[in-house]
């Protein structure tokens, strides 16, 4: 091969997902005999197993897609009977079929590099060997934007009062910040485990950053017009 010679991607022209090269499989374990119940803190013993498949950024050295298979234990609390699974949000957001790494890469391609959704989808495949339908990328980007727009709106007349709370919903914990005077939700974060000190600090830092960013223009806009210098 000559330097600078153009070679098309070896999968160029493939239109069916089934025809793409098969993925390399990495295994991860979240299998424990006992975990602390996120609701009441009592021990929850394992009563079964589950498996989750996550599409990950590909193995570029071998030019292969990569799949992470997570085998996890299912637990039931001996005290309150709550059923839960061990934390996995470091690998992927709750309910996602892709790792967090794939999500952030896709959103950056659109938001930072300005790629259209279809081009971002092709880029992810060609350079990172992960297949994400462009409509899925569109959903991710719009969800990220909706969150920003909502926050801009909610902070547009922020009362200065803030209530931060944690709510439990099945296996998930929702950290939530509201403006109680205006009855508006400002920010929330879904965790698939009970919140650690790090989770709470990270959440408060995000909130602080958002309020800081929103408050500066609001304060400027509220200033009276400058008196003409005499
Ligand atoms: Zn419990």
Tens-place pLDDT, residues 154-171: 888 888 888 888 887 666
Residue 40 C-alpha to ligand 1 middle, in angstroms?
4
Residue 44 C-alpha to ligand 1 middle, in angstroms?
7
84-140 per-position pLDDT tens digit = 999 888 899 888 899 999 999 999 999 888 899 999 999 999 899 999 999 999 988
Q: State the pairing for strand pair 43-59/64-77.
A: antiparallel
In this structure, of 42-46, 59-63, 64-68, 124-128, the range with the lowest mean pLDDT score is 59-63
pTM over 0.75, yes/no:
no
Residue 46 C-alpha to ligand 1 middle, in angstroms?
13
Residue 53 C-alpha to ligand 1 middle, in angstroms?
28
Instruction: Assess contact for 177 and 167: CB atoms under 8 A.
Output: no
- 219 falls in which pLDDT band (50, 70, 90)? very low
Instruction: Assess contact for 66 and 56: CB atoms under 8 A.
Output: yes
Instruction: Assess contact for 56 and 100: CB atoms under 8 A.
Output: no
Residue 73 C-alpha to ligand 1 middle, in angstroms?
16
Q: What span, in angstroms and rounded, lies between the C-alpha atoms of 75 and 47?
A: 6
Pick the closest to residue 38 from 167, 203, 204 (CA basis).
Answer: 167
Question: Would you give the end-to-end CA distance of the chain in angstroms?
Answer: 75
Q: Which residues contact 161 (CB under 8 A, 6 or more apart)?
A: 179, 180, 181
Q: Which residues contact 125 (CB under 8 A, 6 or more apart)?
A: 11, 131, 132
**Exposure of 76 by Cβ count < 10 A (0-12 exposed, 13-18 middle, 19+ buried)?**
middle
């Amino acid at each position: 091969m000559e330097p600078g010679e153009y070679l098309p991607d070896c999968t160029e022209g493939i239109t069916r997902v089934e025809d793409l090269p098969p993925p390399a499989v990495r295994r991860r374990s979240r299998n424990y005999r006992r975990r602390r119940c996120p609701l009441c803190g009592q021990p929850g013993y394992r009563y079964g197993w589950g498996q989750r498949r996550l599409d990950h950024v590909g193995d570029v050295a071998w030019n292969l897609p990569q799949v992470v298979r997570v085998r996890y234990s299912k637990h039931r609390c001996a005290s309150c009977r709550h059923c839960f699974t061990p934390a996995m949000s470091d690998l992927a957001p709750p309910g996602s079929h892709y790792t967090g790494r794939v999500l952030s890469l896709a959103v950056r391609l659109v938001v930072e590099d300005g790629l259209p959704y279809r081009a971002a989808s092709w880029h992810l495949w060609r350079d990172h060997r992960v297949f994400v339908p462009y409509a899925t990328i569109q959903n991710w980007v719009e969800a990220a934007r909706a969150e920003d727009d909502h926050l801009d709106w909610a902070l547009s007349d922020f009362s200065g009062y803030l209530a931060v709370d944690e709510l439990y919903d099945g296996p998930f914990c929702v950290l939530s910040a509201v403006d109680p005077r205006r009855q508006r939700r400002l920010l929330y974060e879904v965790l698939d485990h009970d919140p650690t000190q790090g989770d709470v600090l990270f959440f408060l830092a995000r909130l602080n950053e958002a309020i800081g960013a929103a408050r500066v223009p609001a304060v400027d806009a509220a200033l009276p017009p400058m008196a003409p210098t005499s």
